[in-house]
Each structure stands twice: as structure tokens, then as C-alpha cells.
């Protein structure tokens, strides 16, 4: 085998491995696609795209207040992003983080109002945190059980359960849980101060963000170092891989969905105890769906999820400036979110296509360099092809 062939094969092997270059290419393409798409939208509204992006950057990171608002939004994004990333690692598509977030808020509110209404903070706060995680986990177990026992697609069941959860929540704060002293306002009574997360630095920041960072580190450790994380990653390679390794894929599905739902439920708990302090309209505003974008921007890496959450939070907060300063509709932010998601998916597809093309070229170069009839070179060429594949 010639030196040129060896170099080509080594280069091809590096390009084929799941490396940083693929991630950077996909993320770069996503950012470029979102910027160009947003620029076209701004131009269609008769606005200067550069001015619009500058206002968005100022609105998101131009002051201490706006920065803290970005972090406030990053907290639920991180929880739901981790929830989606964990399930997707096992090839489970948890589209139901919105409903699990809602049920986390419902369980946390119910615990604060009816179980520990007069308890001290040392009792009330752990109780509402556990209740929030439990609410999300139980709600996520419904589609998990349906998938394991009846092969019902979790995509459909988790999506439909979102609407059930939201309707159930509205029934509670419009009906039996409605505050009788609320002057007709649809919402529950305020939870006690002992069950509320404290505000930080005189802003709306609360320790829910710190909890989200903690769970990002914990999930990374669990997925990379624990036996359970190894089983989840193996099962994510396909049912045959799980069976070959002797893992119970049904039990893994139940536990992975329960943990995923618990993370989403913590997002609802943090929104209730850190911001709203009561169950009312405004809890289900799409944070669960945004977690899908966050997870795929982070490429399912728990450590990258908080970074993606801050980026998406900046997009949301900055987008509010477009409405107040340029008179653009608030839905512009949602359009930019969609462009970002399509950009990630398109970038990933392009990266894979580029790798396949490079592999074919490397294989063609290897065949040309191998003398016909040479037993030794033929064997090397076969080895190169196997390496390339």
C-alpha cells in the first residue's frame, strides 16, 4: 500500500468518525440558515435585517435585567431539553414534555396548597420538588406502558397527552381549585412563602436554574459512567443491540421515560414555585416543545443543553424587542425557532451526505492505487474498505 493511499485512508477514517467537525458543520449551517431565513422575513416586513438582529442582541444581552430574563427562560428550557435528550438517546421520541411540565406544576401546586400548606420551608420545599418530579414521571409512564405492552407509538401518545394535561389543569383552576377570594380571577390561591423558591439578586432569577445545571451534570455522569446509562445508550443503537447484550428493553423504556418525565415535571415545579406562585394560565406556553429544539441544538449532550437553552432564551427575549421597537408580530421569534430547528436537521443531513461522499472518493482512490493482481495490496484494499465503512 502506498503512502498516498495510507494517508487517504487515514483522512477518510477521521472524517467518518462522529467527531467535532460534524457537530460544528451542523450547528454552523443551522445558525446560517436561521439568520438568512430571519433576514428574508424581516425584509418581507420592510425592516432592515441588520437593525433587527442588532435590536435582538441588545434586547437579550444589552443589560443586566435582560440577561437575567434570558436566564429565567433558560431554566425550563434546560429541564425540558434534558428530558428530550435522555429519551432520544434511547430512540424514544418524547413529544409530551409540555404535558409533563404541566402535570409537574399541578402536583407541586396541589402539594403546596393541600398537603404542606403550613409546613416550614425545610418540609414544604422538598415536598413540592418531589411532587413536581413525580407528576411528570407518572404522566410520562402512561405512553411508556402503552408502548411496552401494546406497541403504541410514543410520538402519538405523548403528543395527545399534552392536550389532556392542559385541559385537566384548566379544569382545576377554573373549577375545584379556583381561589374563592380571587375576585373571579381564574387561578388557585397563592402557595405559602415556605413553598416558594427565593428570588436571587433582586431579579426574577430563582434557584431553579441552579437545579437545572445540577441535573445537566448529573445526567451527563449517569449516561457516561453508570451501568444504567450504558444500557440506555446500548438500547439506543436498536432493539437487536439490546437483545444481544441481554438487556430488558421494556424495563429500560419505562425507566428512561419516567426519568425524562420527571425532568420535565421539575420544569413545571420551578415555574410555579419560582415565578407564578399559583396555578393559572401561562404555565403551558410551549416550553416543552422548545425542549426539542434545545436537545437537538445540543446534539443530545447533557453538558451542551444549558448552553443551547441560553441561546434559545436569548432568541425569545430578543424577539420581544422586535415587537416593541419595530412593531413586528411576536410570532417572529417562533418563526426563527422553527428555522433554527430545520437548520439543525438540514445541517445534520448535509454533514452525513458529505461524509458518505468523502468515503466513496477515498475508496475510489484506494482502488486506483492498488495494483491489479497483487495479493498483498488487495488484502490491504479490502481492509481500507472495511475501515471506510
pLDDT in tens, 297-319: 898 999 999 999 999 999 888 88
In a domain, 133, yes or no: yes
d(CA 385, CA 361): 11
In a domain, 123, yes or no: yes
- Using N-to-C axis directions, what is the helix angle for 208-225 and 249-271, rounded to 10°? 170
Domain count, the chain: 1
Segment 246-285, tens digit of pLDDT: 888 889 999 999 999 999 999 999 999 999 999 998 899 8
Phi, psi of 201 (to 5 degrees): 60, 25
- Please tell me the least confidently modeled range out of 43-47, 123-127, 381-385: 381-385
Q: Is the pLDDT of residue 76 over 90?
A: yes
- Please tell me the least confidently modeled range out of 213-227, 266-280, 324-338: 324-338
Q: Is the pLDDT of residue 218 over 90?
A: yes
In a domain, 211, yes or no: yes
Q: Is the pLDDT of residue 384 over 50?
A: no
Q: Is the pLDDT of residue 381 over 50?
A: no
Q: Is the pLDDT of residue 17 over 90?
A: no
Q: Is the pLDDT of residue 1 over 50?
A: no
In a domain, 267, yes or no: yes
In a domain, 326, yes or no: no
pLDDT tier at 382 (50, 70, 90 boundaries)? very low
Quote the pLDDT of residue 70. Answer: 94
Listed in sequence order, the DSSP H helices in the chain are 3-16, 20-44, 49-61, 64-89, 97-110, 121-150, 154-174, 208-225, 227-235, 239-245, 249-271, 287-297, 305-325, 331-369, 375-388
Mean pLDDT value of segment 50-62: 87
In a domain, 292, yes or no: yes
pLDDT tier at 83 (50, 70, 90 boundaries)? very high
In a domain, 212, yes or no: yes
In a domain, 11, yes or no: no
Q: Report the chain's mean pLDDT, rounded to a whole number.
A: 85
Range of the domain at 281: 77-318
Mean pLDDT value of segment 198-221: 94
Amino acid at each position: 500500500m502506498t503512502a498516498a493511499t495510507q494517508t487517504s485512508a487515514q483522512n477518510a477514517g477521521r472524517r467518518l468518525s462522529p467527531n467535532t467537525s460534524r457537530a460544528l458543520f451542523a450547528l454552523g449551517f443551522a445558525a446560517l440558515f436561521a439568520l438568512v431565513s430571519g433576514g428574508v422575513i424581516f425584509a418581507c416586513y420592510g425592516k432592515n435585517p441588520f437593525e433587527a438582529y442588532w435590536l435582538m442582541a441588545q434586547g437579550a444581552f444589552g443589560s443586566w435585567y435582560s440577561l437575567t430574563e434570558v436566564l429565567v427562560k433558560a431554566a425550563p428550557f434546560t429541564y425540558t431539553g434534558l428530558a428530550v435528550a435522555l429519551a432520544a438517546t434511547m430512540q424514544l421520541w418524547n413529544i409530551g414534555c409540555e404535558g409533563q411540565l404541566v402535570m409537574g406544576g399541578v402536583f407541586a401546586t396541589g402539594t403546596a396548597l393541600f398537603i404542606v400548606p403550613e409546613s416550614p420551608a425545610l418540609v414544604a420545599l422538598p415536598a413540592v420538588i418531589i411532587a413536581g418530579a413525580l407528576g411528570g414521571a407518572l404522566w410520562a409512564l402512561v405512553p411508556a406502558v402503552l408502548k411496552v405492552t401494546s406497541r403504541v407509538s410514543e410520538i402519538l401518545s405523548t403528543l395527545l397527552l399534552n392536550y389532556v394535561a392542559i385541559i385537566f389543569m384548566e379544569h382545576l383552576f377554573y373549577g375545584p381549585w379556583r381561589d374563592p377570594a380571587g375576585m373571579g380571577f381564574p387561578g388557585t390561591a397563592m402557595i405559602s412563602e415556605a413553598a416558594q423558591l427565593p428570588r436571587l439578586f433582586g431579579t426574577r432569577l430563582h434557584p431553579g436554574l441552579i437545579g437545572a445545571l445540577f441535573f445537566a451534570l448529573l445526567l451527563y455522569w449517569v449516561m457516561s459512567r453508570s451501568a444504567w446509562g450504558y444500557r440506555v445508550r446500548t438500547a439506543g443503537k436498536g432493539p437487536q443491540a439490546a437483545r444481544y447484550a441481554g438487556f430488558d428493553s421494556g424495563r429500560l423504556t419505562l425507566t428512561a421515560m419516567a426519568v425524562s418525565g420527571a425532568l420535565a415535571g421539575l420544569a413545571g415545579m420551578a415555574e410555579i414555585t419560582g415565578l407564578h406562585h399559583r396555578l393559572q394560565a401561562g404555565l403551558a406556553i410551549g416550553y416543552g416543545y422548545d425542549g426539542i429544539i434545545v436537545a437537538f441544538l445540543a446534539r443530545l449532550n447533557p453538558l451542551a443543553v444549558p448552553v443551547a437553552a441560553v441561546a434559545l432564551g436569548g432568541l425569545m427575549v430578543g424577539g420581544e424587542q422586535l415587537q416593541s421597537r419595530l412593531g413586528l408580530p411576536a410570532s417572529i421569534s417562533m418563526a426563527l425557532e422553527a428555522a433554527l430547528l430545520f437548520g439543525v436537521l438540514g445541517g445534520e443531513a448535509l454533514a452525513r451526505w458529505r461524509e458518505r461522499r468523502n468515503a466513496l472518493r477515498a475508496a475510489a482512490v484506494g482502488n486506483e492505487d492498488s495494483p491489479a493482481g497483487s495479493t498483498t495490496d488487495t488484502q490491504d484494499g479490502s481492509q481500507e474498505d472495511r475501515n471506510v465503512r
